[in-house]
Amino acid sequence: MTVESDVPAIVVLGSINMDLVTTTARRPVPGETVLGSGFAMVPGGKGANQAIAARRAGGEVRFLGAVGDDVFAGELRRSLTDAAVFTDRLRTVAGPSGIATIVVDDDGENSIIVVGGANTRMSELTEDDLAAIAAADILLCQLEIPVDTVAAAARHARAHGTTVLLNPSPARALPADLWTNVDVAVVNSGEAEQLDADLDTVAHLVVTRGAAGADYRGPDGARFSRPSPQVDVVDTTGAGDAFTGALAAAWHRGPEWALTWACAAGALATTRLGASSSIPAREEITAAMVAE
C-alpha cells in the first residue's frame, strides 16, 4: 500500500489488558512486604497501548485482538473506542481478559507481570482480519499474542505490500520466516543485544535508549540518533508503546522525522501515571518538538 494522505491506515495486531497499577516508595525484594501509596486500574496491553498511541499521533487505526467475557471486557473495549480506534475486529472469547500487575516506585521505574488471558486465544486470523491487514499501510505487531498468529499476519502483509513494523517484546526466539517479513523492528537496548543476529535481517532497525533517545540503522548503511526531550519522569510504564505507536503514525514521513516524533511521544508518556492514560496527543508531541 502507498499512503495517499498524511493519515496512514494502521492495523495493530496485539494484546489488550487491564493494568492493575500499585505505587510505592520502592519495589519489594523477594519475600518482602512493603506499603503502597496508591492503586489504579488502567486499560493497557502492548497492542492496545500502541494502537491508542498511533491514533493520538495522527494515524487511522484498527485493532485486531481479543477480550474475555469478564468484568474488564467492557471497559477495555471502551478504552479503544474512546480513543477513536476502530474495534470492529476486536473479538470476545470465553474466559478472562488479559491483565497486568504493575508496581511503580518513586523513581518512576516499574516491575510488571502479565497474564495473557484472552490474548492467548488469538490463534487464528479470519478472512476479515486478513482483508484489514491487506488494506492497511502499516501492520504493527508485538509478541503478547501467539507468535504463529503474528507470523501469519506478517506473511499476509508482505504479500499485499503492507509495511510490517514489529516490536518483538517480550523478546524471544522467533521463526526465521517471521523476520524475513519484517520491514521495521523497534527494540530497546536489552532486546537489541538478545536478538542481535536476527535483527541483522531487518531493513530498518530502531533501538530505543530511554532518556537518551533512540538510534536508527537503515538498509543503505544510514545511521543516526535522536535525543529525547528532557522531562520530569513520573512513570515509565507505556513509554515504549507510546514511542512505537507514534513511530508507526509518522513512518510515511521518513525515518528521521518519525524517530524525532517518536522520541517526543515516548518522553511525554513518562510524565503521567499509567500506560494508555499517559499517551500524548498529536498537539502535545508537536509542541514538544517545537520546544526542542
Query: Cα(220)–Cα(131) distance, rounded to whole angstroms?
Result: 32
CA 264 to chain centre: 15
CA distance 25 to 51: 31
Q: What pTM did the predictor assign?
A: 0.91
The count of residues in the chain is 292
Catalytic pick among 19, 129, 183, 241: 241
pLDDT at 5: 54
The C-alpha cell at 195 is: 536478538
Residues of the chain falling short of pLDDT 70: 1-5, 292
Residues contacting 226, CB < 8 A, separation 6+: 213, 214, 216, 256, 259, 260, 263
Cell 485482538 maps to which residue?
65
Read off the pLDDT of residues 41-64 as tens digits, 9 standing for 90 and up.
989 999 999 999 999 999 999 999
Q: What is the DSSP string of the chain?
A: ----SSS-EEEEE---EEEEEEEESSPPPTT----EEEEEEEEE-HHHHHHHHHHHTT-EEEEEEEE-SSTTHHHHHHHHHHTT-B-TTEEE-SSPPEEEEEEE-TTS-EEEEEE-GGGGG-----HHHHHHHHH-SEEEE-SSS-HHHHHHHHHHHHHTT-EEEE---S-----HHHHTT-SEEEEEHHHHHHTHHHHTT-SEEEEE-GGG-EEEE-TTS-EEEEPPPP---S--TTHHHHHHHHHHHHGGG-HHHHHHHHHHHHHHHTTSSSSGGGPPPHHHHHHHHHH-
241 is catalytic: yes
Please say whether the beta carbons of 16 and 119 come within 8 A.
yes
Tell me, what amino acid is at 122?
Answer: M
pLDDT score of 292: 65
Please report the pLDDT score of residue 54 as a whole number.
98
Confidence (pLDDT) at 4: 41
Cis preceding-peptide flag for 170 (omega within 30 of 0): yes
Distance CA 165, CA 139 (A): 6
Q: Dump pLDDT digits (tens) for 69-117.
A: 999 999 999 999 999 999 999 999 999 999 999 998 998 888 889 899 9
Phi/psi of residue 114, nearest 5 degrees? -110, 130
